[in-house]
A and B are shown apart, each in its own frame.
Chain A
Amino acid sequence: MNEPPKEPIKYVDSKVYLPYHYVAGDYKARYLRALKDKRILGSKCSQTGKVFVPPLMNSPESFAPCTELVEVPDRGVVTTFCIVNIPVIGRNIELPYVAASVALDGVAISIFALIQECKPEEVRMGMRVEAVWKPDGERHGDHDDIQYFRPTGEPDAPRESYINRL
């Protein structure tokens, strides 16, 4: 090993290993635990009464605290969506899939959700959907206790009812 290398070194490989142990925070923790009981919790702004899912500690709009947790229905409206055709490392969802913004009834903002039990081309803005839960005994208090949302077959929601909840 006394000779210098014949070729200059061009690349340095570095594998980064960074473990993280995240805190959920009480608001998120209570939301996740309630999923085990097929309940969806939101937090309510102490000033405006608007409800946020997943629960937030404060309303970003009024800047007031959200001190009350309330239960919201597990059904709502697709406000907008896209059809995903590309895979992502570490995810097992079958392609193509529909990733949608779903505004649950009575909630001021929307959540991101998977839409299934229909062809991607059938999904539309305003489509009414309901949660499909994992069966009793298989729910653990985690976000995948809701497997996906599926169309309810009801008439589409009027545009005014969801256009401000994209």
Chain B
Amino acid sequence: MNLRNVAVVGFAQLPVVARDEHRISTEMLYPVVRQALADCGVQRDDIDYQIAGSVDYMDGRPFGFVAALDVMGSWPPRQDLHLEMDGSFCAYYAWLRMQAGDCNTALVVGHGKTSEGEPDRVMNLQLDPYYQAAIGLDPTSTAALQASAYMARTGASDADLAAVAARNRAAGARNPENQLRDATSAAELQKTPWKVEPLRAGYLPPVGETATCLILAAEGKAEKLCDRPAWIQGVDHRTEMQTIGARDLSRSASTKLAAEKALAMADVASAREVDLVELFASSPAEELIVCDALGLDAKASQPVINPSGGALCANPIMSTGLIRLGEVFRQLSGRAGARAVPNARRAIAHATQGHCLQHNLLWVLGSERRWS
């Protein structure tokens, strides 16, 4: 199948902070949209399509996303969509529109001030309202269930989780966009109290917020917007049913399937062949499970996992997945500063949604076009 070559050509974000006291969600988004366009050297009118990701409940406003139209340059009227999902899924749909020939350039944003509400309460409401939400399960508890299942099957230990967290924190210290920017040793992290056993407070990201904007462009346009576009070579996403008791929590079947499809599309035999992987993992156990599903050894030095510091160092929820894609762009286009992986030419970006890695999206990107 010969698809259209599409690339990520720009990405802008605000540094992730616990709470921006001076700007509402749309006021955080406006400068980021302006920045992304300026970095590509284009005006808003040069972009064919726009799509936004945000969640009403996180915003504490029904129709909260409507206000974003006013800061995205929605005049004259624009072809537009909004998904109640992380921005990474919006990027997927924009890519799909390019495959359908419906646009050549797209503006993808993620926004939402998670500091205004209590994400744990909101995410409890994602669960089946009849059987599971009523128990009071919050996302840390469900993640802990999953971590226990994984540790029981594989024999992974608290020390293994601490090592993963420490690796992310060390990498994250080199990334000025992060909320957590200090390296901490595994031993120190293992001293933090349990949030929900087996997950310690030190293994979990703080609540944080930002705004993000990513620009996609098809071949023919991409080269004009960016000196080193990050070409999308393969992509796929899959969801599983939510019911926590009905799936094998120690594995991520949807990640495995999405990876198979995305890697096949990219004509890459295995995830081990890429130079770096950016995963959206809100706990070290999730990271280990996703690595398993990708056939990666989390302890190996190749490919480099989460050179950005991952979601542990910055988890703005509506943008975390889009940031993974943006980080891969920075790496492949030589914009990764102190955290650059040398000679990075191929990478994987992952995004997830829903309790216990319910829904997973895999991108394979590279410095070369996939199709001729």
Contacts and interface: CB of A to CB of B under 8 A. Distances in A.
Nearest to A18: B121
Nearest to B19: A23
B133 to A, nearest CB: 7
Interface in B121-151: 121-122, 125, 129-130, 133-134
B188 interface: no
Contacts of A25: 22-24, 27
A28 B113 CA distance: 16
A20 B23 CA distance: 16
A57 B19 CA distance: 19
Interface residues of B, number: 31
B93 interface: no
22 contacts: A12-B129, A12-B130, A17-B121, A18-B60, A18-B117, A19-B117, A19-B118, A20-B116, A21-B115, A23-B19, A23-B20, A23-B113, A23-B115, A25-B22, A26-B23, A28-B24, A57-B23, A57-B26, A60-B71, A60-B74, A63-B73, A65-B30
A24 B23 CA distance: 7
B116 A21 contact: yes
A65 B73 CA distance: 11
A24 B19 CA distance: 12
A8 to B, nearest CB: 13
A93 interface: no
Contact of A24 (B24, B118, B121, B125): B24
Kindly list the 9 A-B residue pairs having the minimum CB-CB distance in the complex, ordered from nearest: A20-B60, A60-B70, A25-B24, A63-B73, A57-B27, A26-B22, A20-B117, A25-B27, A58-B30
Interface in A13-41: 14, 16-28
Given A18-B57, A23-B22, A27-B27, A57 B71 contact: yes
A61 interface: yes
Nearest to B113: A23
Contacts of B22: 23, 25-26
A17 to B, nearest CB: 7
Contacts of A111: none
B44 interface: yes
Contacts of B130: 12
Interface residues of A, number: 22
B24 to A, nearest CB: 4
Given A17-B121, A21-B116, 17 more contacts: A12-B129, A14-B133, A16-B125, A18-B117, A20-B117, A21-B115, A22-B60, A23-B20, A23-B21, A23-B113, A23-B116, A24-B24, A57-B23, A57-B27, A57-B30, A58-B71, A63-B73
Contacts of A99: none
A23 B115 CA distance: 9
Contacts of B73: 63
Q: Which of A17, A21, A24, A61 has the most CB of B within 10 A?
A: A21
B134 A12 contact: yes
Contacts of A56: 70
B75 A18 contact: no
A18 B113 contact: no
A14 B134 contact: yes
Given A17-B121, A57-B30, A63 B75 contact: yes
A18 B19 CA distance: 18
A65 B21 CA distance: 20
B327 to A, nearest CB: 27
Nearest to A19: B118
B122 A61 contact: no
Interface in B66-120: 69-71, 73-75, 113, 115-118
B27 A60 contact: no
Interface in A38-70: 56-58, 60-61, 63, 65
Interface string B9-47: 000000000011111101100100010000000001000
A63 B134 CA distance: 45
B75 A60 contact: yes
B39 to A, nearest CB: 16
Contacts of B116: 20-23
Contacts of A23: 19-24, 113, 115-116
B19 to A, nearest CB: 7
